[in-house]
Structure 1
């Protein structure tokens, strides 16, 4: 086991113990490590802002799937932002963001269930890496914001800005529809690429986002590329375009309509031929349905996701997701949440045909399995302190073998997600 895996819990305990001596009130501070005796606040006022967070996800397969057991994965992120306007007295100097990420652990999906949608959203890329080195500023007008450098596309596009989807532990919900990254050069955190992103405010409610990123599949999940900003082997450029509408008022909402195109030449599924270019589109919605006038902060939101990708080269062609999140479920718990979601990932028919042909050529029967992997997830977000969130979670996975062509029993997975802000 790598050394960093063994020392991480000790490091966290040491941080908590050290800061407890400096400031005994751990329950009310905004971060675990506090204000560092006033130094942190002063540094931020001067233009240097530090950030850090930890997430740990434990999942136990209680029924179905492949094996009865538990798996743990973790993510540690440390960052620093330099405000050049404050540091050097510049007019609109912009900001530089530096972020480092470390992931460790084991996958419940791979080891215990055998499904496609990752049960732990923080699993993958199990090494220390540079995840962002970018420069951002407004240009010509306050309505135009530009960011360029080494970063993940999914930080700014393809997800809901409200953060409603991170009330779930499964990566099918938390983040972005996975057929984007599965069937194109789209990269979600922590995979980063060289690129540029532009946001333009058309009005207070409407915004247009456009980006262009290098596509380098050989660097995905490659530990030897952890600190290389330049690509190893460029196959093309992926260009997303996103229109955002944010509804204001007593029942706010967020709506995103997007399209993306990857110019890379890739093999067509089920064929030796290549297809030139891959694309897809998506629709994301977060809409408040109810707000309690007598209890500020208590509200019920509904979300929806639809994404379709290239049939020629994407392992799954469509994703549907929908659900509800109740904020402030109890009067005495203003920061807690209850979340319930349903998702359906549809495999590419060409992928299914390739699996069936392989089974036939090997003289093996092909199981009678459903046409999609489905997910039902229920979670409760318990905000123990301003910096610590505990999320008990339950996932029911229907047809876990839909993508692999295996007959696997539906699985019931019980989990716990822990998030701490440093």
Structure 2
């Protein structure tokens, strides 16, 4: 991919906004940074072509504990185009084609400064430009049945909460799907994409069933030479997730997801040369409103919960527990701000721990007396500065950062700032 789309500093976004051809309307009031392009953007969407663009930048400073005192910055640029075939060609239920490109740059605070497993910056990983999605979606036979197929990331449709509540926090342990899914199966983290198909069926206004099948190709994950190759390099199997979704309606709405996934790939067992045929896991995700302020529309308190368990035979990361609360509209004059508090616990596989202990014993080295899980406490404030710009100061306290590596690392206190802009 041409390096021209790489954006290494938010200043370039502001330069875009000041370009005369793009700077229509009030910069602080428009819905996107670059505006309506003199009416062209709106006309394209009316004709069936929707153009989107997003930037996220995350800076994290390790103030105490961990490995080193310093800061790290990472960023993600996402460009997308959606083609509505019904509008473009006058078709009835023509469906939509989605094209998405991602570019990631930067450095990891977890790897360089803290030494923990759960990525402090959710947008770090796969530092190159890639095709993230080329898919086709439409309803089939009935409005209740929706299909999507092509090249795409699994987490776009499964494994996470549709409400987006978890991305009010910056750590990847919260924002996205539980990470032990990818640690113990062929489930790939965004923006890694694979060939697959997804089906959604509305059983009722409140209940929905989702089923998918994705090619498993570990050699393509995080491989920059495969950034534009839709076909697999080396297929090991198929991962099949099944998800039941319940949307609670009413004054206190909620979202509940119960899921199971199975990967048919054969992989080596941990601490053994033997292979295990197939890996699976299950998960439960909850977002429930627990309070609404009758005197201030939009002010509400939501509680979330996560539980996920992965195969103990082949996953280094067997269980994940997460819980927290998000307060929407914390101040009367700030209708789109949020305050979020989360707690997470990531449990390493005892077999993986035994491998580390055995290696230390064979090398004649002591093994540290560390806890059996990495824990995370995170607090953030989402400040919606403009309709297109969100600033999120963030604090993370990481307990037992060396739980997965078998190293004695002091608990870490990390201060962060996340910047998100839509252009």
Which TM-score tier does this pair reach, normalised by the shorter chain? over 0.9
- 1:15 equivalent to 2:24? Answer no
Structure 2: gaps (5+ residues):
none
CA distance in 2, matches of 1:356, 1:13: 52
- Give the conservation status (yes or no) of the 8 Å contact 2:126–2:222: yes
CA distance in 2, matches of 1:4, 1:45: 26
Kindly indicate whether residue 283 of structure 2 is the aligned counterpart of residue 285 of structure 1: no
Q: Which residue of 1 aligns with 2:408?
A: 407
Identify which range, 19-28 or 105-114, moves more after superposition.
Answer: 19-28
What does residue 93 of structure 1 align with? 94
How many Å separate the matches in 1 of 2:142 and 2:4? 49
Compute the TM-score of the two structures, normalised by the length of structure 1: 0.98
> C-alpha offsets along residues 97-124 of structure 1, whole Å, 9 cap, x if unaligned?
0000000000000000000000000000
Q: 1:184 to 1:91 in 2, by over 3 A?
A: same
1:273-325 Cα offsets, whole Å, 9 max, x none, are 11110000000000000000110000000000000000000011000000000
Pick closer, same or farther for the CA change 1:20–1:87 going to 2, 3 Å: closer
Q: Is the 8 A contact 2:22 2:34 kept in 1?
A: no
1:42 equivalent in alignment to 2:43: yes
**1:20-419 to 2 correspondences below 5 Å:** 22-419=23-420
Deviation at 1:187, TM superposition (A): 1.6
How far is 1:17 from its partner?
1.5
Where structure 1 has 5 or more consecutive residues not aligned to the other structure, the ranges are none
Instruction: Name the CA distance, whole Å, in 1 between partners of 2:400 and 2:77.
Output: 32
TM-score of the superposed pair, with normalisation by structure 2: 0.98
Q: Is the 8 A contact 1:19 1:32 kept in 2?
A: no
Task: Name the SS of the counterpart of 1:237 in structure 2.
Answer: strand
Q: Quote the offset at 1:189 in angstroms.
A: 1.3
**Residue-pair matches, total:** 421
**Distance in 1 separating the partners of 2:66 and 2:28:** 39
Runs of at least 4 residues off by over 3 Å: 2-11, 19-22
Q: CA RMSD in A?
A: 1.2
Q: Is the 8 A contact 1:19 1:33 kept in 2?
A: no
- State how far apart, in whole Å, the 1-side matches of 2:373 and 2:23 are: 53
